[in-house]
Amino acid sequence: MLTVISSLRLFSYGCVGLLYWAIAASLSWAQTPLPSLDPLAPTGAVPVENSALPAAVEQTYRLGVGDRLAIEVFNVPEYSGEYQVLIDGSLNLPMVGRVSVRGLSLTAAGETIGVAYTPLVRRPLVTVSLLQPRPVEIAIAGEVTRPGVYTLPVEAGAKFPSLVQAIQTAGGLTQIANLEQIQLHRPQPNGTFQVTRVNLWALLQQGDLSQNPTLQDGDTLVVPTVEQTDLATANQLAAANFAALPTESLNIAVVGEVFRPGSHQLTTADDSPDRPTLTRALEVAGGITPSANIRQVEVRRQTRSGVVQTIPIDLWALLREGDVQQDLILQQGDTVVVPAATDLSPEEAVQLASASFSPDEIEVNVVGRVEQPGVVKLRPNTPLNQALLAAGGFSNEAREKSVELIRLNPDGTATRRNIEVDLSAGINEETNPVLRHQDVVVVAPSGLTSLSENLGALFNPLRLLLPFSNFF
């Protein structure tokens, strides 16, 4: 009985061993190249994907010219190796020749290669790995400093460039970029484009990193223009690391009520983080005139589409309320327009003269019976009696009780008024008003005889001050 059991056991062991040997031999034989004279019927391929790509990129990455791949056909080393996608989008593989993989994912490429080797290998197991991605070529259009086509390298570890990195490469966003409506156009295998909206304002305000997607070869970024510039948003954008960097100099035009209208260069020091602003441009243009309407200043800015956008600025809010958002950061090609005021109260004139964007000194012409008649340079908001003292005071022939003040109006007309003078009085609009740039103070002689003898001396300097000479 024991002999029979032992025999059965030996028979069972032998069967198992024979079965194991048959399976192993079958697997080994299935992975060896077949003779070309006796090809097997296609039985399908098994692709194996093994890529170092990040998971988010791996699903959407499409092969293209320049990608370097590692292809392994399991147990067939003579068909395995490293290959680069050629200029026609194909791989030149041993025995099967060229196989097109342009536009395929890694999985689809493995399937395609497996199908190509199926006539030669029974159920080929194909592993496709991306050793080195090709450089990423993208296009950037719209409100960036330097729109165009850029080729961005893929860093070690298959670290693809991000949207923010691409914008930085293009010089950053302009001040009128629409952060909430940036479009990412990605080509699809069927020839269409997948369009994704990116909201960089959410990244800026909430730190939403999902709004900084990874870019791929062939992507296009479109940065639209805002319909109306919001001053608060523009100033926050200027502080972002993807905003346009300040250049060494900006070419800005300043026209209207400034002392030196025209084109001006605004420079930025290499060690200064400050960006050129509106008030800086007014200072470079010599400051505003006393008749400037600072409530309705305009900054005219040209968009990438060629349309001129007008940004209203209220510098009076900057002076009275400290609203620094009104001091707009300027960019290349801006035009600043300062209109003339139709009416300006004495109190407003005093505040305006002391503003940082007003000139540091004014010129007043003192003529007639003073010791040193002519143009005197004074600090802004200097009163009448100080101007008389700056001209040497009254001469012996002067009528000291009153003088005449002649002032230009914004509309080109002039007003004249007689003012009783007290050289020791404080500032008073009636008796000792604050002077403005280009005011004329006329000191008359003390009597009729002196007036007739010195009439020529009075009129000669006044004729140089047209249109004031027609008042005498």
Kindly report, residue by residue over 114-170, the tens digit of the pLDDT: 999 999 988 899 989 888 888 999 999 999 999 999 999 888 766 889 999 999 999
Residue type for 387, please? A
What is this structure's pTM? 0.65
The residue type at 448: L
Residues 52, 67 contacting (CB under 8 angstroms): no
Domain spanning 46-132: which superfamily? wza like domain (3.30.1950.10)
359-373 confidence digits (pLDDT tens) = 888 889 999 888 899
CB 424 within 8 A of CB 389: no
Provide the pLDDT for residue 22.
45
Highest mean pLDDT (candidates 106-110, 162-166, 284-288, 404-408): 162-166
For the chain, helix (H) and strand (E) counts, in that order, are: 12, 21
Beta bridge partners of 428: 432
Question: In the prediction, which pLDDT does 235 show?
Answer: 84
Q: How confident is the model at residue 399 (pLDDT cuts 50, 70, 90)?
A: confident
Q: What's the whole-number average pLDDT of the chain?
A: 81
Q: Which residue from 198, 182, 24, 30 is spatially nearest to 118, judged by alpha carbons?
A: 30
Q: What does the DSSP 8-state code read for residue 195? A: E
How high is the pLDDT of residue 18?
Answer: 47
Torsion region of 267: left, alpha or beta (phi above 0 gives left; psi -120 to 50 gives alpha): beta
Residues of the chain with CATH 3.30.1950.10: 46-132
Indicate the pLDDT class of residue 101, thresholds 50, 70 and 90.
very high
Per DSSP, the three-state class of 4 is helix
What pLDDT shows up at residue 56? Answer: 56
- Which CATH number fits the domain 362-471, given the four candidates 3.90.79.10, 3.40.50.2300, 3.10.560.10, 3.30.465.10? 3.10.560.10
24-59 b/e (C-beta count within 10 Å ≥ 16 → b): eeeeeebeeeeeeeeeeeeeebebebebebeeebbe
Q: Which is more confident, 437 or 185?
A: 185
CATH code for residues 136-238: 3.10.560.10
pLDDT exceeds cutoff 60 at 172? yes
Residues 297, 319: Cα–Cα separation, whole Å: 14
pLDDT of residue 461: 54
- pLDDT tens, residue by residue, 267-321: 875 445 568 899 999 999 999 888 889 899 999 999 988 899 999 999 989 888 8
CA angle 459, 465, 468 (to 5 degrees): 75
Average pLDDT of span 206-220: 93
User: What pLDDT does 410 receive?
Assistant: 66
Q: What pairs with residue 138 in β-bridges? A: 150
How high is the pLDDT of residue 115? 93
Q: Average pLDDT of 248-259? A: 89
Among the listed ranges 25-29, 387-391, 462-466, which one has the minimum average pLDDT value?
A: 25-29
What backbone phi and psi angles, to 5 degrees, belong to 104? Answer: -95, 150
A 10 A CB-CB count for 413 gives 9
Contacts for 24-28: CB closer than 8 Å, 24+ residues apart:
28/75
- Can you name the residues that pair with 405 across neighbouring β-strands? 417, 441
Q: Please list, in sequence order, all residues whose beta carbon lies within 8 angstroms of the beta carbon of residue 44, skipping any fewer than 6 positions away.
A: 114, 118, 123
Rounded-to-integer distance, Cα 368 and Cα 349, Å: 26
pLDDT for residue 356: 78
Query: Looking at 187-191, 225-229, 239-243, 260-264, which range is the least confident one?
Result: 187-191
Strand pairing report for 68-73 and 81-84: antiparallel
Sign of the Cα torsion 288, 294, 298, 299 reads positive
User: Per-residue confidence at 467, pLDDT binned at 50, 70, 90?
Assistant: low
Q: Which pLDDT belongs to residue 301?
A: 94
Calculate the alpha carbon distances from 10 to 2, 20, 22, 23, 360 in Å: 12, 15, 18, 20, 114
**Does residue 288 contact residue 278 with C-beta atoms inside 8 Å?**
no
Burial class (CB in 10 A: 0-12, 13-18, 19+), 83: buried
Question: Which of the residue ranges 36-50, 216-230, 244-258, 393-407 would you say has the lowest mean pLDDT?
Answer: 36-50
> Residue ranges of the alpha helices (H) in 199-323?
200-206, 231-238, 278-284, 315-321
Q: Which CATH class is domain 249-353?
A: alpha beta
- Residues 4-61 have pLDDT tens digits of 444 445 444 555 444 444 444 443 434 444 433 233 333 344 444 445 555 556 677 8
| CA count, 13 A, side-chain hemisphere, 186 | 19
- The CA distance from 223 to 226, in Å, is 10
Q: In what order do the strands lie in the sheet with 414-420?
A: 374-378, 362-368, 440-443, 402-408, 414-420
Q: Mind listing the pLDDT tens digit for each residue in 422-433?
A: 777 788 788 888
Mean pLDDT over 94-108 rounds to 91
Structure tokens at 227: 């319909």
Please state whether beta strands 97-100 and 90-93 pair in parallel, antiparallel, or not at all (unpaired): antiparallel
CB 152 within 8 A of CB 164: no
Contact 358, 305 (CB under 8 A): no
Q: Indicate the SS3 state at residue 285.
A: coil
pLDDT at 432: 86
Q: For the chain, give every residue range classified as CATH 3.10.560.10.
A: 136-238, 249-353, 362-471
CA nearest to 168, candidates 193, 140, 187: 140
> What digits encode the pLDDT tens for the residues 310-349?
999 999 898 888 898 999 999 989 999 999 887 777 777 7
Residue 471 has pLDDT above 70, yes or no: no
Q: How confident is the model at residue 459 (pLDDT cuts 50, 70, 90)?
A: low
Mean pLDDT of 435-461: 67
Give Cα separations from 104 to 65, 113, 125, 214, 268 (angstroms): 12, 11, 18, 19, 49
